[in-house]
Structure 1
């Protein structure tokens, strides 16, 4: 595997993981607001 390609994949994976955790955080926040928690 080319170093450039692996670097790109690693960056993309990190960005994907970050987006996923942000999405989970938002969903939890929304659910808590629905339940009336602050």
Structure 2
């Protein structure tokens, strides 16, 4: 159970960092969406 919690925490932190890049204009919305799906394990 601990590994799952850590994985979720890692996913959240990664998504926060990606959102910052999106907000700064470094990533496009399309790039953000693709990376978000990869982080969350969605095909």
Normalising by the residue count of structure 1, what TM-score does the alignment of the two structures yield? 0.65
Gaps of 5+ in 1: 1-11
How many equivalent residue pairs? Answer: 27
Aligned structure 1 segments of 4 or more residues deviating by more than 3 angstroms:
none
Report the structure number with the largest CA radius of gyration.
1
| TM-score scaled by length of structure 2 | 0.59
RMSD: 0.6
Instruction: Quote the offset at 1:13 in angstroms.
Output: 0.5
Q: Partners of 1:20 and 1:31 in 2: how far apart?
A: 17
